[in-house]
Amino acid sequence: MNYLDNAATTFPKPEIVYKTMDTFYRTLGANPGRSGHKMAVAAEKEIEDTRAVVTKLFGIKNSNRFVFTFNATDAINMGIKGLLKSDDHAITTYLEHNAVSRALNGLERRNIITVTKVRNSQDGFIDPDDIKNAITSKTRLIVMAHAPNVLGTIQPIKEIGRIARENNIIFFIDAAQTAGVCEIDVNKDFVDMLAFTGHKGPLGPTGTGGLYVGERANLEPWREGGTGFEPASLSQPEELPYKLESGTPNTVGIAGLRAGVEYILSKGIQAIRKHEQKLIDKLINALKDDRRFILYGTTDISRKVGILSLNIKGFKPAEVGAILDQSFDIAVRPGLHCAPFAHQVLGTFPDGTVRISPGFFNTEADIDQLITALNRIANEKI
Is residue 351 close enough to count as binding another protein by CB under 8 A? yes
* DSSP state for residue 136 in the 8-state scheme: -
Nearer to another protein, 209 or 352 (CB): 352
* DSSP state for residue 342 in the 8-state scheme: H
Is residue 231 close enough to count as binding another protein by CB under 8 A? no
Nearer to another protein, 302 or 326 (CB): 326
Is residue 60 close enough to count as binding another protein by CB under 8 A? no
- What binding mask, one character per residue, do residues 149-188 give for another protein by CB under 8 A, x or -? ----------------------------------------
- What binding mask, one character per residue, do residues 263-302 give for another protein by CB under 8 A, x or -? ----------------------------------------
Q: Tell me how far apart the alpha carbons of residues 307 and 149 are, in angstroms, rounded to a whole number.
A: 8
Nearer to another protein, 4 or 323 (CB): 323
Q: Tell me how far apart the alpha carbons of residues 308 and 314 are, in angstroms, rounded to a whole number.
A: 19
In one-letter notation, the amino acid at residue 376 is R
CA-based nearest residue to 6, from 191, 260, 254, 255:
260
Identify the residue among 100, 131, 336, 356 touching another protein (CB under 8 A).
336
The radius of gyration of the chain from alpha carbons, rounded to an integer in Å, stands at: 21
* DSSP state for residue 244 in the 8-state scheme: G
Is residue 197 a contact partner of residue 208, using CB atoms and an 8 Å limit?
yes
- What binding mask, one character per residue, do residues 296-335 give for another protein by CB under 8 A, x or -? --------------------xxxx--xx--xx-----xxx
Part of the chain binding another protein (CB under 8 A), chosen from 72-80, 111-119, 303-311, 344-352: 344-352
3-state helix, strand, coil in the chain (%, to 5): 40, 15, 45
Is residue 312 a contact partner of residue 319, using CB atoms and an 8 Å limit?
no
Strand 170-174 relative to strand 139-145, pairing:
parallel
Part of the chain binding another protein (CB under 8 A), chosen from 48-56, 80-88, 251-259, 347-355: 347-355
In one-letter notation, the amino acid at residue 41 is V
**Minimum gap (Å) between residue 352 Cβ and another protein:** 5
**Minimum gap (Å) between residue 5 Cβ and another protein:** 12
Neighbour tally for 179: CB within 10 Å: 28
CA atoms within 13 A on the CB side of 46: 28
**Minimum gap (Å) between residue 180 Cβ and another protein:** 24
Is residue 17 classed as helix, strand or coil in its secondary structure?
helix
**Minimum gap (Å) between residue 351 Cβ and another protein:** 5
**Minimum gap (Å) between residue 150 Cβ and another protein:** 11
**Minimum gap (Å) between residue 65 Cβ and another protein:** 34
Binding site for another protein (CB under 8 A): 316-319, 322-323, 326-327, 333-338, 340, 349-352, 377, 380-382
